[in-house]
C-alpha cells in the first residue's frame, strides 16, 4: 500500500483523532480505493508510485513525489468518504447502535451528507489534478495505457470541448471517466453513418488544428454534440455517486438525474437524425445536365434529393 501509516493519512486529514487504531480501522478502505485507482490508471502507471522490489543489483525505481502525493490524497479522501457513515455506529449482537454521550452526539443526516460531499469534492480535485499531471508529464507507462490510447482515438480533442457542449465546468477527470463510453458510441453509431475512413480523417484534422470546410465543420459539430449528449445521458444514470461530478450531486437527486438523462438522450436523437440528413444531402450531387434536352420552353436544370 502507498498510504502506510496514520502520518500519511494526516497529511490530508489532519483532524483525524486517534493513532494506531485509527489507521487499522481505515486500512480496509484505503486498500479498496488503492485497488480501484490502480484499475482506473492501469497497473503500469500505478507502478510509478508503487514499484515492485528491484532484483539484486538493480537500481530501485525513483518514485515521483508529486504523483505519489496526488495518488495518496485521492485514496485517503475516498476512504473517509466511504467510511464516514460507519464511524459512529457499533454493530454487535444487539444490532446497530449509535454512540451517544453527554458531550458527543452523532451528526445529523444533513451534516453527514454535507461532510461526505466536502470530502468527495477534495478527492475529485486530487483525481482531476492527477489526470492533468499525467497528461502534462506523459510518462511512457501512461502513454501506453489502454485508457490513454482510447482518449487519443476520440473525435474530441480535449475535455474543454466536451464540457462546453454539456454546459459543465471543464473536467479532465469527467472526460477520462467518459472516454470508453464515448468511444463505443463513436464506433457503433457514427462510423456506419460517416464512414470509418472519413471519421478518422476528420479526427486527424481536428488534432492538427487544420481548417475545416463548411461541410466538415457541420459534421464535426453534430458528431460531437451527439457523443456528448448520448454518453452523458448514460453516465449520469449508471455511474456511482462517488464518480459523478460533485457539482451535479449537490443539485440533483435520483429523479432529477433521470429527467436530465432523458433530455440529453432526446437531444442526442435529434443530433443523430440531423447528421444522417446532412450526410445524405452532401452525398447526392447536383444532377448533371443531359446532352439531349427536349426543346421546351423550360430548359432549367433541376436537382432532386431524396
Residue % of the chain over a pLDDT of 90:
58
Q: In terms of domains, do 39 and 85 share one? A: yes
**Do residue 2 and residue 22 come from a single domain?**
yes
User: Is residue 261 located within the same domain as residue 210?
Assistant: yes
Task: Based on the fold, state whether residues 127 and 233 are members of the same structural domain.
Answer: no
Domain count, the chain: 2
The predicted structure's pLDDT at residue 104:
67
pLDDT tens-digit series, residues 101-123: 666 677 777 888 888 889 999 99
How many residues are present in the chain? 306
Task: Output the pLDDT for position 43.
Answer: 92
Average pLDDT over residues 219-223: 96
The answer to whether residues 114 and 5 belong to one domain is yes
Query: In the predicted model, is pLDDT for residue 155 greater than 80?
Result: yes
Residue-by-residue DSSP string for 166-235:
HT----HHHHHHHHHHHHHHIIIIIHHHH-HHHHHHHHHHHHTTPPPPHHHHHHHHHHHHHHHHHHHHHH
Same domain for 129 and 242, yes or no, is: no
Residues 10, 140, single domain; the answer is yes
pTM over 0.85: no
Q: Could you tell me which of 181, 169, 74 has the C-alpha nearest to residue 127?
A: 74
Residue 298 has pLDDT above 70, yes or no: no
User: 156 and 29, same structural domain?
Assistant: no
Q: Does the residue 30 lie in any domain?
A: yes
Inside any domain, residue 210: yes
| Residue 302 pLDDT exceeds 60 | no
**302 within some domain:** no
Strands (DSSP E) contained in 63-117 are 89-92, 95-98
The rounded Cα 25 to chain-centroid distance in angstroms is 30
> How crowded is the C-beta side of 101, counted as CA atoms within 13 Å?
5
Q: Is residue 197 part of a domain?
A: yes
Per the prediction, the chain carries an average pLDDT of: 85
Report if residue 184 sits inside a domain.
yes
User: Which cell numbers in the block locate residue 176?
Assistant: 477520462
Instruction: Provide the domain limits for residue 222.
Output: 152-284
**What CA–CA distance (Å, rounded) separates 273 from 34?**
43
Report yes or no on 305 lying in a domain: no
- CA distance linking residue 7 with residue 19, whole number of Å: 9
Same-domain pairing of 111 and 193:
no
> Do 138 and 162 fall within a single domain?
no
For residue 211, the Cα-to-chain-centroid distance in whole angstroms is: 28
Query: Cα-flanking dihedrals φ and ψ of residue 246, to 5°?
Result: -60, -30
Amino acid at each position: 500500500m502507498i498510504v502506510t501509516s496514520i502520518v500519511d493519512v494526516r497529511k490530508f486529514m489532519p483532524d483525524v483523532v486517534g493513532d494506531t487504531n485509527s489507521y487499522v480501522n481505515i486500512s480496509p478502505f484505503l486498500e479498496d480505493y488503492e485497488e480501484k485507482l490502480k484499475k482506473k490508471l492501469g497497473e503500469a502507471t500505478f507502478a510509478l508510485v508503487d514499484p515492485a522490489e528491484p532484483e539484486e543489483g538493480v537500481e530501485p525505481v525513483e518514485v515521483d513525489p508529486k504523483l505519489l502525493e496526488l495518488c495518496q490524497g485521492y485514496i485517503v479522501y475516498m476512504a473517509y468518504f466511504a467510511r464516514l457513515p460507519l464511524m459512529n455506529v457499533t454493530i454487535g449482537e444487539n444490532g446497530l447502535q449509535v454512540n451517544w454521550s453527554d458531550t458527543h452526539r452523532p451528526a445529523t443526516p444533513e451534516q453527514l451528507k454535507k461532510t461526505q460531499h466536502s470530502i468527495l469534492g477534495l478527492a475529485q480535485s486530487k483525481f482531476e489534478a492527477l489526470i492533468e499531471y499525467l497528461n502534462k508529464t506523459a510518462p511512457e507507462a501512461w502513454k501506453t495505457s489502454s485508457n490513454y490510447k482510447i482518449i487519443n482515438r476520440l473525435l474530441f480533442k480535449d475535455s474543454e470541448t466536451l464540457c462546453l457542449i454539456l454546459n459543465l465546468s471543464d473536467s479532465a477527470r469527467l472526460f477520462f471517466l467518459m472516454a470508453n463510453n464515448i468511444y463505443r458510441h463513436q464506433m457503433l453509431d457514427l462510423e456506419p453513418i460517416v464512414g470509418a475512413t472519413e471519421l478518422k480523417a476528420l479526427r486527424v484534422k481536428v488534432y492538427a488544428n487544420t481548417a475545416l470546410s463548411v461541410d466538415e465543420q457541420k459534421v464535426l459539430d453534430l458528431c460531437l454534440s451527439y457523443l456528448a449528449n448520448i454518453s452523458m445521458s448514460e453516465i449520469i444514470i449508471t455511474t456511482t455517486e462517488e464518480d459523478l461530478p460533485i457539482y451535479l450531486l449537490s443539485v440533483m437527486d435520483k429523479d432529477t438525474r433521470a429527467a436530465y438523462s432523458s433530455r440529453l438522450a432526446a437531444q442526442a436523437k435529434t443530433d443523430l437524425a440531423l447528421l444522417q440528413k446532412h450526410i445524405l444531402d452532401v452525398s447526392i450531387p447536383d444532377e448533371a445536365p443531359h446532352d439531349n434536352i427536349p426543346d421546351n420552353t423550360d430548359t432549367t436544370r433541376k436537382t432532386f434529393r431524396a
